[in-house]
């Protein structure tokens, strides 16, 4: 199928009330496939050790490939009501020192099987609030990681930042530690919205810190935004979009708020009546996409924008875009070792998740065990569907021939029912099909998750979809 090079619309496509109503449903964000809700407790430490051992054997023959590392740092001084992350809200900074010990102990257990000095090209600190740690604690953690892994000279080393927790001096220290990418959690600049979600941070504060980050030589600056928060309107969020675009971050992540108070206790403090409707949400998304594009940003997919010369935009143009647990990425489809409470690793054809509470996480490590509580070994069918879903999510298209050749299947037979189900989405104007495959239209990019869900054999029931956020 000839590539149509559809990025995103200007002007915005027409979104009918009928279409919005039919698409007002829940579905996965597909940072993985199968999604984490499919992990099983039958997957144990032994399964992870086997995957790490196979990786180590592959590395001897040059097939192991580079490694990506994620460290989950769960501590926060105050709770943001919208947050769905695994976190520990505390003002007791003495709690972070033993946690660093535990993370490095976990890495020792990983290296006992995988080997030490593995070539590492990507590192990400997430949370929680990674900058909850003191400068000395960040020093100790980075020294410990570098003693066990071999970091590439030109790798991507990023850290999430709550602007309320850093100064120029702290940013300078992060740069000296080797971080070359920072992500500022902004969410919204409207004061009423900030009060409604318990996260006050003035525009001027973020503006000054971003200026400092540029002067200090960070390669990339990202800003996180959320639409669908309480008291947000299309007008107020448009102001935030203009303010962010004026700051010129290299990348922007625009997430839809997932209101799941039955799963995430802090969200119970949000007043349901203050939440925007589905139509208002899509209006915010529509205006944000148009706004960022009009300011020179390229739409990467679903929730990411980047300036044209950013490596993420270059990867999108060249068909090298990937998606992992941190969202869209330029990093090749490589193994991920994730450290810390609740962290999810991907090694070979396996996913594994650590214990979700500190007590359980510490207990496993005290017994000399990798703190795995659940995971999954992917089946052949999982691998085929993962390839299809990631092609849709990253490139907005699917080549039948490519999938058939890569997985030794006949796509038309294997996905007969799924391809029949695309007819309704095609009639809605979300995609264009021919004999070679299909590609999303400009309108279809709004509902890319709904298109991907067609090929997800686990997310076909209303009960399954209830675990996820709204696709719009």
CATH number assigned to the domain comprising residue 421: 1.10.10.920
Token representation of residue 341: 């409470």
Question: Is 285 domain-assigned?
Answer: yes
pLDDT for 61 equals 35
298-301 and 350-354 strand pairing: unpaired
Task: Give residue 283's domain range.
Answer: 36-339
Question: Is 138 domain-assigned?
Answer: yes
Q: Are 351 and 81 in contact (CB under 8 A)?
A: no
443 and 332 fall within a common domain: no
Burial of 368 (0-12, 13-18, 19+ CB in 10 A): exposed
Mark the binding-site residues for S-adenosyl-L-methionine, compressed into ranges. Answer: 70, 82-84, 127-129, 160, 187, 199, 224, 258, 344
pLDDT for 10 equals 43
Q: What is the pTM of this model?
A: 0.90
Q: Sheet containing 67-73: which strands, arranged edge to edge?
A: 298-301, 304-306, 251-256, 220-227, 181-187, 149-161, 118-127, 67-73, 335-339, 344-347, 350-354, 372-377
Task: Identify the H or E element spanning 203.
Answer: helix 203-215
pLDDT for 59 equals 46
Q: CATH no. for residue 71?
A: 3.80.30.20
pLDDT for 51 equals 95
pLDDT for 63 equals 44
3-state secondary structure 386-404: HHHHHHHHHHCEEEHHHHH
Question: Is 287 domain-assigned?
Answer: yes
Rounded to 5 degrees, φ, ψ at 396 are 65, 25
pLDDT for 321 equals 87
Question: Is 453 domain-assigned?
Answer: yes
138 and 76 fall within a common domain: yes
62 and 149 fall within a common domain: yes
Question: Is 371 domain-assigned?
Answer: no
21 and 59 fall within a common domain: no
21 and 50 fall within a common domain: no
Closest CA relative to residue 195, chosen from 295, 82, 87: 82
Mark the binding-site residues for [4Fe-4S] cluster, compressed into ranges. Answer: 76, 80, 83
98 and 233 fall within a common domain: yes
Q: Sheet containing 431-434: which strands, arranged edge to edge?
A: 397-399, 437-440, 431-434
Query: Which residue's structure tokens are 């925007």?
Result: 276
Q: Strand (E) positions, 64-176?
A: 67-73, 75-76, 88-89, 118-127, 149-161
Whole-angstrom distance, CA of residue 168 vs CA of residue 173? 9
Q: Which of 309, 339, 369 is the last residue of a domain?
A: 339
Tell me the pLDDT of the chain (472 aa) as tens digits.
433 334 444 445 666 767 776 777 778 889 899 999 999 999 999 999 999 999 876 543 334 688 999 999 999 999 999 998 889 999 999 999 999 999 999 999 999 999 999 999 999 999 999 999 999 999 999 999 999 999 999 899 999 999 999 999 999 999 999 999 999 999 999 999 999 999 999 999 999 999 999 999 999 999 999 999 999 999 999 999 999 999 999 999 998 898 989 888 999 999 999 999 888 888 898 889 889 999 999 988 778 899 999 999 999 888 888 888 878 888 777 899 999 999 999 999 999 999 999 999 999 999 999 999 999 999 999 999 999 999 999 989 999 999 999 999 999 999 999 999 999 999 999 999 999 999 999 888 888 889 999 999 997 554 455 556 666 6
Question: Is 102 domain-assigned?
Answer: yes
R_g of the chain, CA atoms, integer Å? 22
pLDDT for 13 equals 63
Q: Which of 339, 370, 401 is the last residue of a domain?
A: 339
Task: Identify the H or E element spanning 318.
Answer: helix 311-318
182 and 287 fall within a common domain: yes
Strand partners, 185: 224
Peptide bond before residue 79 is cis, with ω within 30 degrees of 0: no
Token representation of residue 349: 């054809």
Whole-angstrom distance, CA of residue 33 vs CA of residue 38? 9
Q: Which of 291, 309, 339 is the last residue of a domain?
A: 339
Number of domains composing the chain = 2
Distances (CA, A) of 217 to 169, 178, 181, 209: 13, 11, 9, 13
Mark the binding-site residues, compressed into ranges. Answer: 70, 76, 80, 82-84, 127-129, 160, 187, 199, 224, 258, 344
42 and 141 fall within a common domain: yes
67 and 22 fall within a common domain: no
Give the chain's count of helices (H) and strands (E): 17, 19
23 and 74 fall within a common domain: no
Q: Are 450 and 442 in contact (CB under 8 A)?
A: no
22 and 84 fall within a common domain: no
Closest CA relative to residue 15, chosen from 273, 276, 232, 287: 287
Whole-angstrom distance, CA of residue 325 vs CA of residue 252? 17
255 and 108 fall within a common domain: yes
Question: Is 271 domain-assigned?
Answer: yes
Question: Is 293 domain-assigned?
Answer: yes
């Amino acid at each position: 199928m000839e590539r149509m090079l559809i990025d995103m619309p200007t002007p915005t496509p027409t979104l009918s009330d009928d279409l919005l109503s039919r698409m007002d449903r829940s579905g996965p964000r597909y940072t993985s496939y199968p999604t984490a809700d499919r992990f099983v407790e039958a997957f144990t430490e032994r399964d992870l050790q086997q995957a790490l051992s196979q990786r180590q054997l592959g590395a001897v023959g040059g097939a192991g490939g580079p490694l990506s590392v994620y460290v989950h740092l769960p501590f926060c001084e105050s709770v943001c009501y919208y947050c769905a992350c695994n976190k520990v809200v505390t003002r007791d900074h003495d709690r972070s020192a033993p946690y660093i010990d535990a993370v490095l102990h976990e890495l020792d257990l990983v290296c006992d099987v995988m080997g030490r000095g593995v070539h590492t090209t990507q590192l990400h600190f997430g949370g929680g609030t990674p900058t909850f740690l003191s400068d000395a604690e960040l020093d100790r953690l980075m020294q410990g990681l570098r003693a066990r892994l071999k970091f590439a000279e030109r790798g991507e080393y990023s850290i999430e930042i709550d602007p309320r927790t850093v100064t120029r001096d702290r940013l300078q220290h992060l740069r000296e530690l080797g971080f070359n990418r920072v992500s500022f959690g902004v969410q919204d600049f409207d004061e009423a919205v900030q009060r409604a979600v318990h996260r006050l941070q003035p525009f001027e504060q973020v503006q000054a810190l971003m200026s400092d980050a540029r002067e200090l030589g960070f390669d990339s600056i990202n800003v996180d935004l959320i639409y669908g928060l309480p008291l947000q309107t299309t007008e107020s969020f448009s102001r935030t979009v203009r303010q962010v675009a004026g700051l010129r971050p290299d990348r922007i992540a625009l997430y839809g708020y997932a209101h799941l108070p039955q799963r995430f206790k802090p969200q119970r403090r949000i007043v349901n009546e203050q939440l925007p409707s589905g139509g208002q949400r899509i209006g915010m998304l529509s205006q944000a996409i148009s706004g960022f594009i009009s300011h020179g940003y390229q739409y990467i997919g679903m929730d990411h924008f980047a300036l044209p010369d950013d490596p993420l935009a270059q990867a999108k143009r060249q068909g090298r875009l990937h998606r992992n647990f941190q969202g869209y990425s330029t990093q090749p489809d490589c193994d991920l070792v994730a450290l810390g409470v609740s962290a999810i690793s991907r090694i070979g054809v396996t996913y594994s998740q650590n214990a979700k509470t500190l007590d359980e996480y510490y207990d496993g490590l005290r017994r000399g065990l990798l703190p795995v509580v659940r995971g999954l070994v992917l089946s052949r069918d999982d691998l085929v569907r993962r390839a299809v879903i990631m092609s849709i999510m990253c490139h907005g298209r699917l080549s039948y021939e490519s999938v058939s050749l890569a997985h030794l299947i006949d796509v038309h037979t294997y996905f007969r029912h799924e391809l029949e189900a695309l007819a309704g989405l095609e009639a809605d104007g979300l995609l264009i099909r021919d004999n070679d495959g299909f590609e999303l239209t400009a309108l279809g990019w709004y509902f890319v998750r709904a298109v991907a869900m067609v090929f997800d054999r686990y997310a076909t029931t209303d009960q399954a979809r209830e675990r996820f956020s709204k696709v719009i």
